């Protein structure tokens, strides 16, 4: 297996660090628009694991916005699998470049949505991933696999949902992805600051778009951003966190292959974070279209959202100033194999102190990074195989979960925690 990693930012850097201890691939070309970032990630592997391990990595410069550049780099290095670790706005070009090069493809975030033109808070327009699923037959005819949404959410969450459907439930009322944490970031003076733990570009896209909900009787529909708040009790000391509806890929993916009456995604943002996002939207600072700005060097065109991303702390570098844990999980409710009411929360927790000690990466990017590597390793073994554009929920979840938890695998503990089936939601 010869991998082209597109992007050496926070998640890409963590991918390289974790991959440094694995042996399932022949080479990983680490590419970024900033060549020095790719070199820095490889240097970390050299310092931690030695020159022999580092020799399996090669740094390269890439323009993720150019499908031709992606295809050229993939062909030059005889790449078999392209791993997309850049922001979802680059999905069309990286996805297309991989196909043109005749490579298989893996990403962690899917093609972007477009709200319904006339009724955005009731009807979906173009849903997340629609443009990728639309060309599945082309990938099938080419005999190539595009595994989409293979991060933590979507990705690991999809695996959890499939595991529940296969092993724990005879009938599923709802699959509700619940993401929350106890993370805090502090400045040099010890004051807590606003510093998103993931790409603010992506966070704005997810949180300010109309959230999508799936119901078997209605199909997909949308609501207002931050709708239906509830208090969810997260495990392992995180505690109670307010969660709200957020647009996310699982809602568009899981109903295609798992029989559930309802699918939702709720994110524990907190009131301060929601307030900041609403303010950005009110001021138009969430816009992606460039705006003409006067500067001392003359007029320049700047995307407001890109400007916000530039002035906030880089999520890749906030780890030393971060404390707490993050939890990604799926609450599944319905009937167990004996027909009795059941509610099970299947989750994974990442502790920032632990991920910083192990790979010098903050916990949110570290929790994302190991999932596509597990998937690629299963592909290399021939345990996950196929063609077309698919999500991880189509594959047998057990090999993934075994490799994820094994001490000789990725040593990541996952838990299936029973909840009270009839416990009502607590609203703030």
pTM: 0.92
Per-residue model confidence as pLDDT tens digits over 352-371: 999 999 999 999 999 999 99
Beta-bridged to residue 139, according to DSSP, are: none
What tokens appear for 411 in the block? Answer: 């040593």
Q: Would 317 be classed as within a structural domain?
A: yes
Residues 257 and 334 in one domain: yes
Residues 58 and 190 in one domain: no
Tell me how many domains the chain contains. Answer: 2
Q: Would 177 be classed as within a structural domain?
A: yes
Listed residues 87, 107, 127: the one ending a domain: 107
Q: Would 384 be classed as within a structural domain?
A: no
Written as one string, the DSSP assignment of 70-98 is HHHHHHHTT-SEEEE-S-GGGHHHHHHHH
Q: How does residue 287 score in pLDDT terms, banded at 50, 70 and 90?
A: confident
pLDDT of residue 428 exceeding 50: no
Question: What distance in Å separates the CA atoms of residue 305 and residue 262, rounded to the nearest whole number?
Answer: 33
Residues 231 and 354 in one domain: yes
Per-residue model confidence as pLDDT tens digits over 115-142: 999 999 999 999 999 999 999 999 999 9
CATH number at residue 33: 3.40.50.720
Q: What is the DSSP letter of 365?
A: H
Per-residue model confidence as pLDDT tens digits over 65-101: 999 999 999 999 999 999 999 999 999 999 999 999 9
Range of the structural domain that residue 30 is part of: 2-107
Per-residue model confidence as pLDDT tens digits over 212-260: 999 999 999 999 999 999 999 999 999 999 999 999 999 999 999 999 9
Q: Would 42 be classed as within a structural domain?
A: yes
CA-to-CA dists, residue 106 to 80, 110, 145, 307, 423, angstroms: 11, 10, 8, 29, 38
Residues 103 and 171 in one domain: no
Per-residue model confidence as pLDDT tens digits over 161-180: 999 999 999 999 999 999 99
Residues 13 and 84 in one domain: yes
394-398 long-range Cβ contacts below 8 angstroms, 24+ apart: 394/257, 395/162, 397/159, 397/160, 397/162, 397/163, 397/166, 398/163
Q: Would 393 be classed as within a structural domain?
A: no
Q: Would 352 be classed as within a structural domain?
A: yes
Residues 183 and 90 in one domain: no
- The residue among 297 and 337 whose pLDDT is bigger is 337
Residues 201 and 89 in one domain: no
Listed residues 83, 107, 131: the one ending a domain: 107
Beta-bridged to residue 239, according to DSSP, are: 234
What tokens appear for 334 in the block? Answer: 């319905």
Residues 266 and 175 in one domain: yes
Residues 190 and 79 in one domain: no
Per-residue model confidence as pLDDT tens digits over 40-71: 999 999 999 999 999 999 999 999 999 999 99
pLDDT of residue 422: 58
Question: What distance in Å separates the CA atoms of residue 285 and residue 281, rounded to the nearest whole number?
Answer: 6
Q: What is the mean pLDDT of the chain?
A: 93
Q: Which residues of 339-365 are buried (b: 16+ CB within 10 A; e: fewer)?
A: eeebbbbbbbbbbbeebbeebebbbbb
Q: How does residue 315 score in pLDDT terms, banded at 50, 70 and 90?
A: confident
Listed residues 78, 107, 136: the one ending a domain: 107
pLDDT of residue 425: 45
Question: What distance in Å separates the CA atoms of residue 244 and residue 247, rounded to the nearest whole number?
Answer: 10
CATH number at residue 330: 3.30.360.10
Q: Would 55 be classed as within a structural domain?
A: yes
pLDDT of residue 112 exceeding 50: yes
pLDDT of residue 426: 44
Residues 204 and 334 in one domain: yes
Per-residue model confidence as pLDDT tens digits over 175-210: 999 999 998 888 888 888 777 777 777 788 778 899
Residues 282 and 352 in one domain: yes
Residues 94 and 170 in one domain: no
- In degrees and rounded to multiples of 5, residue 209 shows phi and psi of -75, 155
Written as one string, the DSSP assignment of 24-59 is S-SEEEEEESSHHHHHHHHHHHHHHH-HHHHTTEEE
Q: Would 405 be classed as within a structural domain?
A: no
């Amino acid at each position: 297996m010869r991998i082209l990693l597109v992007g050496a930012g926070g998640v890409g850097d963590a991918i390289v660090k974790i991959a440094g201890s694995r042996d399932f691939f022949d080479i990983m070309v680490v590419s970024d628009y900033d060549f020095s970032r790719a070199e820095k990630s490889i240097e970390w592997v050299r310092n931690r694991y030695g020159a022999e391990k580092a020799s399996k990595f090669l740094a390269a410069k890439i323009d993720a916005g150019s499908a031709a550049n992606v295809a050229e780099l993939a062909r030059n290095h005889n790449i078999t699998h392209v791993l997309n670790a850049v922001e979802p706005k680059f999905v069309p070009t990286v996805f297309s470049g991989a196909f043109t090069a005749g490579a298989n493809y893996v990403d962690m975030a899917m093609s972007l949505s477009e709200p319904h033109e006339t009724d955005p808070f009731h009807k979906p327009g173009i849903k997340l991933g629609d443009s990728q699923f639309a060309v599945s037959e082309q990938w099938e005819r080419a005999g190539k696999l595009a595994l989409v949404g293979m991060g933590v959410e979507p990705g690991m969450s999809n695996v959890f949902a499939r595991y529940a459907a296969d092993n724990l439930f005879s009938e599923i009322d709802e699959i509700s992805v619940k993401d929350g944490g106890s993370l805090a970031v502090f400045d040099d003076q010890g004051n807590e600051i606003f510093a998103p733990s993931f790409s603010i570009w992506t966070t704005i896209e997810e949180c300010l778009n109309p959230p999508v909900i799936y119901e078997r009787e209605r199909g997909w529909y949308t609501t207002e951003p931050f709708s239906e708040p509830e208090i969810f009790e997260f495990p392992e000391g995180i505690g109670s966190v307010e969660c709200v509806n957020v647009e996310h890929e699982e809602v568009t993916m899981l109903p295609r292959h798992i029989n559930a009456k309802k699918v939702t995604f709720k994110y524990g943002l907190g009131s301060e974070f929601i307030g900041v996002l609403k303010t950005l939207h009110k001021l138009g600072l969430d816009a992606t279209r460039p705006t003409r700005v006067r500067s001392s060097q003359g007029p320049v065109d700047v995307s407001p959202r890109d400007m916000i991303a530039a002035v906030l702390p880089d999520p890749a570098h906030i780890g030393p100033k971060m404390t707490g844990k993050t939890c990604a999980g799926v609450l599944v409710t319905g009937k167990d194999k004996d027909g009795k009411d059941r509610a099970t929360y299947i989750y994974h927790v990442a502790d920032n102190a632990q991920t910083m000690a192990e790979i010098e990466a903050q916990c949110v990017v570290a929790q994302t990074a190991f999932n596509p590597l597990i998937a690629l390793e299963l592909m290399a073994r021939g345990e996950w195989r196929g063609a077309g554009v698919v999500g991880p929920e189509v594959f047998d979840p057990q090999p993934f979960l075994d490799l994820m938890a094994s001490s000789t695998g990725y040593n990541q503990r996952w838990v299936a925690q029973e909840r009270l089936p009839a416990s009502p939601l607590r609203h703030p």
